[in-house]
Chain A
Amino acid sequence: MLAPPPSPRAPGPWALRGLVLGTLALAVALQLMTEAGILPEVLNPYYLHLLTVVGMNIILVASLNLLNGYLGEFALGHAGFMGVGAYAAALLAARVLPPPSSLPPFLGPLLLLLPTLAAAMAAAAAAGYLVGRATFKTVGDYLSIITLGFNMIIVNVIQNIDAVGGPRGFTGIPRNTGFAAVAACTLLTLAVLRALVQSSYGRVWLSIRENPLAAEVMGVDVNRAKLQAFTIAAAFAGLAGGLWAQYQQFITPRSFDYIKTTEILVMLYLGGMASLSGSILGVVAYTLMMELLRNLLGAFAPQLAEWRMILSPLILILVMLTRPSGLMGHREWRWLRPRGRS
């Protein structure tokens, strides 16, 4: 449903068509099930909400993995790109496009989602391109500082733009997303990222992480590769932001500050570097942990629930001590591995 436009020269083989059609079919099926009340019947709204949040977080974590896992940098601004996407989508959905109520019930949200998500991705990609350019001469700690600075700038700029609500936040965004759209976008994101990291682009990113000088003397234009990784990672963070805005219907600049970045980082490192399986697992494990702790502790006494904020970092520390490269660092589940390899 959200596929970036395929290049006109692409021959359009079954793999691409299958992917897009399959995802669309899934989204439509899920949407119909939601409308018909079947899905809320099977999964209560609480689980459905959790799954939706998990999907958006998988998009965020898997795309950050391009930079921190595959390219081997330590980027600290991912929530900033998410914010750019969220505000771009919110502006388009609330101020430019017609409200969903004026459109047919089922097709309406879908028609609104395509342009808003495309705009979210494009705006975030542009921001990613600029940040990527700014990091040309830096690696390591300095690159981290630049990305962190970008994140703070984005939040502060939005806070000072009254037209989008400033620090009070942006309200009145139509709800064009739900579990179905998020599920479809998550699958598409994973499919695209998997294709990329297993292509020669992915190998080049890895080689830069492993030994940038050796990559250069092998003919790799390191800056160009960095720029590609930053642009792509930011685009997908923007996608997650666009989905988030049109799911929550209310966004504030604060939702995209370094605390959100830290949350994405924690899930990423919990799952493991350079592993898409890890990104999925990290998000699911982290979300489950937080919710289980909330429910378990809350079952004993409501005031204990706040202890999860102490217990969950403790669990994280224990995981890092026993599995320093995360749950799935550098390994993939079978279905995410390239075909024909052991």
Chain B
Amino acid sequence: MEAALKVQGLAKAFGGLTAVSGFDLELGPRDIQGIIGPNGAGKTTVFNLITGIYRPDRGRVSLGNTETTRFGPDAVARAGIARTFQNIRLFAQMSVLDNIRMAFHPGAGYGLWWATFRTARFREEEARILARSLEHLERFGLAGLRDEAAGGLPYGEQRRLEIARALATGPRVLLLDEPAAGMNPREVEELIQLIRKVHQDFPLAILLIEHQMPVVLQLCREIQVLDFGETIARGAPGEVVRDPRVVEAYLGEEEARA
């Protein structure tokens, strides 16, 4: 099975501080894997490296046969990696519909002149984008909110919209950065169902960062644990969470906090 996303020896330091050292990952085309670890372990940095927001010092990232290591974030997205953010980043003042519609920009089949003169081609493409966006919203139960400002939605729906928006780009790999952050147990349960459904309905692989153990335990085939930028354990989630080094990493954090 060829990997959808392959990461080898990814490393990044900020000044003298090593954020990530030697991160490896092989994500199959329909895989779900997770990254866990205490705060500041470098999890989000890994996402930022994969999506081109940071340039890695060493290592490489490939999506299928395409090496994306040196791509900017927009090129990575067009290559087929979509992501969400730990602190939700919606286009707050735009409508729910427009949050989805803008995803179809790179594929919008008309140029500036077409838009300027509202040509037939332009109107056909706009109608197609509208239909696809509405269908997409319908799928995520957001169609009723199409004209609401995205920033005014309740928290859970903002999360859902952000995931829906990421999927609207038609990615091969979806990265979810702490999708359950700030959710109560019932909302977490709903989120797990949503991610399951996404995994069933869309032909993609998922990589998620999560603190909430139920999410990781129920969804991920394999997880790895990061601590101080290094992978300290890797394997099936049920086993990994009992690994003494992992327990220590988390307990150490608890003690430091107390």
Contact = CB atoms under 8 A, between A and B. Distances in A.
B93 A210 contact: yes
Interface stretch (B76-84, B152-160, B236-244): B76-84
A94 to B, nearest CB: 30
A341 to B, nearest CB: 7
B170 to A, nearest CB: 10
Interface string A205-246: 011001101111111111000001000100000000000000
Interface string A137-181: 000000000000000000000000000000000000000000000
A217 B102 contact: no
Contacts of B123: 15
From B94, B103, B116, B123, name the one whose CB has the most chain A CB atoms within 10 angstroms.
B116
A216 B74 contact: yes
Given A6-B117, A196-B116, A199-B126, A221 B74 contact: yes
A10 interface: yes
A201 interface: yes
A130 interface: no
B250 interface: no
Contacts of B92: 210-211
A204 B106 CA distance: 10
| Contact residues of A: prevailing secondary structure | helix
B112 A201 contact: yes
A294 interface: no
A218 B118 contact: no
B94 A217 contact: no
B51 interface: yes
A192 B119 CA distance: 12
B89 interface: yes
Contacts of B166: 218
B29 interface: no
B73 A216 contact: yes
Contacts of A228: 112
B72 interface: yes
A192 B116 contact: yes
Contacts of B73: 213, 216-217
Given A200-B115, A219-B74, 20 more contacts: A10-B114, A13-B120, A15-B117, A15-B123, A195-B118, A196-B112, A199-B108, A200-B102, A200-B108, A203-B94, A210-B91, A211-B89, A213-B89, A214-B89, A216-B74, A217-B53, A217-B73, A219-B106, A221-B74, A222-B74
